[in-house]
Amino acid sequence: MAYTASHWGSYELDGNTGIKPIDVDPRPSRIGRGWVSAARDQNSRILTPAVRKGWLDGDGGTARCDDTYVALSWDQASALVARELTRIKTEYGNGALFAGSYGWASAGRFHHAQSQMRRFLNLAGGFVSSRDTYSHGAAEVLWPFVLGMGNQALQDQMTSLSLVAEHCELLLAFGGISERTAQVASSGTTTHDVGPWLERLHERGARVVNISPRASDYPGAEWVGLRPGTDTALILALAHNVVTAGAADTAFLERYTSGWPEWRAYLLGETDGQPKTAAWAAPICDIDVETIHDLANALMTKRSMISMTWGMQRADHGEQTIWAGLGLACILGHIGQPGLGYAFGYGSTTSVGRPCRYIPWPSMPAGKNGGADFIPVARITDMLLKPGAAYTYAGETRHYPDIKMVYWVGGNPYHHHQDLRRLEQAWTRPQTVVVHETCWTATARRADIVLPATTSLERADLMMNRRDTRLLYMSPLMAPQGEALCEFDIFCKIAAHMGLEDAFTEGRDEAAWLGHLWARARKTAEREGFILPDFDAFKAMGRVDLPPEEARRDHIALRDFVADPIAAPLRTESGKITLFNARIDSFDLADCPGHPSWLRPAESLLDAGTEDALQLISPQPDTRLHSQNDRGSEAQSDKIKGREPAYMHPDTARSRGLAEGDIVRLWNARGACLAGLRFDPAIRRDCISLATGAWYDPQQLADGTWLEVHGNPNAVTLDQGSSGLSQANIAHTCLVRIEKWDAPLPALRVNTPPPITSAPVDL
């Protein structure tokens, strides 16, 4: 049997015509239905290496966001990249090269684009990298202070949803738990099992409350539709209610936490004169006082789980929300018990809370980065616009490097970054931008040198996800499109021009590397107590299921610490969960105090003069992974007149003279975009939801106005760090106005590749 894998699921190859979901998957992803058509779309695929005409003419990057291209041979292109890398290193040093490539790239273990890039550039002397993620950047910086561990370590021990399904009596789901976001898992998945566990929870009769602006974030749950950006206020009020009712678990707080007296004083208003009562929180959150009292009473009488999605902290002061949720769980005292306590990330991907054994499968060795410097991942625009400027991060004062060259592979910043018009301004600053891409995304269209890469459907690879119970040999479905090459072969060509080919390949081609990685995987399996077949047998089988007795593991977050906090202390300043953190407090950050606090967002419906504004929610899409497969049949069929759909309450729409199917313009001071309107009666009346991932298509209209015409919400989102602690993105802190678009619809440039000529090039 022949298989392949992606971040949204695993598939059997159906001849040479297509794919079908693997037979063990109970809930195959919708995304997969558009995968093959996207890979075969000749209008979007990059079919030849190319160089930007303006770069050849020495324009200094001024036309980088709107230019034509000249086709190159692979030898010309690889020599040109090698020459530029050598020039930048010689003239400025490796600290002038930013290769903070970010994105999900391939699910395969060998052909993961960023891994190949890091290996090559580390051999070339190193580069400026990026740290943390857009998904949970605030948490990645906060958790080491508060819990003494990074986010990956916390995810690894996250309480299994199987235990929640069996033991939880009350699940408060902040941000919901959605099978839409649970379609995906980094490094691949063979099953989608969040839905079945949640169904078991409902069958048991547990009370489930979805605290979110949209009911669809947890279908079937009781819905509390609070005002976006105010979850922290609600959590503080719930904590206040429990404490003043005398129901706080003081034994847990004294044994397992530090800083409780300081946080308690804040909750009671002893430090700022404002008790965090339900009456205080209700007008902030725009919910009834009775609703808050009811939830608090339920928390005091039922065995509970406080669940928070990753999206909760993608907002201004996002650290406060997840820290407050953890604090509430500490007050209730259920942490460390089966199916109870605190969780971060259920439903954000399908593997969070999966009851399986985590096995450290091998990956492509990357070597050591001699560049050493880094930036927080969401601060790329600030870095390019403000070289040398100071910023704070994790208690340090750092300075942005002066970047002369950007090297980007396996990702699309013009999907995941905020305020894309500002990014375009910054993107003109470097001397050279090199991009490897499969398709003419907005990032590829803004590169000086473009190198066409294959998709996972065009090459062999290994799916070895440490959070999955199956291993797959990924067979190609089709031949590479045009002149596309895999990243390994691309870097081999560049390395040959720089004298690095032997070091990069270690004498192995793709097939030999796959065999080498499998041999290492077999040794890993032996250490774990079971046997894997040899490589030829595995390749013929296509799939190996781990032994059932080896595959299943139930996890309980912080179990060892709760069992014995003396023997298994946390790596925090106190060895305990810090509800007041002296180190954070010592940083003297107005936007991140020493304990969980309510801080007004930078942009909010609480502000004066926002009566006609709407809160923009920009969730993950249902039809694609981020921007991947936006050119596929599934995503295309979901659009309205070619534009991404935006969801709005029908009463709000009608009050503004809007009808379902209308094309609307969303706008604010940062920019504007078009979208197609759909009604959703289960969304707050002051919100509008526009998913991320529509390929960025900005155009200047005849009257000189700027407009993104396809429906990319990051045309209007705010590019600002969540705090001076983490500098994470705040995509969900955004207000927009809306109006019907009555003018003729601009043609979509994403439907056609940029102009490419085949004129001779003198390099």
Please list the active-site residues.
Answer: 102, 104
Quote the CA–CA distance of 321 and 520 in Å, as a whole number.
42
Ranges of beta strands (E only) in 340-416 are 341-344, 374-376, 390-393, 396-399, 405-409
What's CA 103's distance to the chain center, in Å? 8
Reading the block at residue 196, the tokens are: 């079945």
Amino acid at 212: S
Quote the CA–CA distance of 370 and 126 in Å, as a whole number.
4
| CB-based burial label for 752 (10 Å; 0-12, 13-18, 19+) | exposed
Reading the block at residue 751, the tokens are: 């439907």
Length of the chain (residues): 763
Residue 374's closest CA among 408, 350, 403?
403
H helices of 245-347, in order, are: 250-256, 260-267, 278-285, 289-301, 318-332
- Which residues are CB-neighbours of 243 under 8 A, at least 6 positions away? 264, 267, 268, 331
Q: Is the dihedral of CA 225, 229, 235, 237 positive or negative?
A: negative
H helices of 62-215, in order, are: 74-92, 113-123, 137-146, 151-156, 161-167, 194-203
Contact 628, 35 (CB under 8 A): no
- Strand pairing report for 341-344 and 374-376: unpaired
Contact 504, 492 (CB under 8 A): yes
What's CA 411's distance to the chain center, in Å? 11
Using the CB atoms, write b or e for 91-101: b if 16+ within 10 Å.
ebebbbbbbbb
Residue 725's closest CA among 139, 263, 308, 155?
139
Contact 65, 427 (CB under 8 A): yes
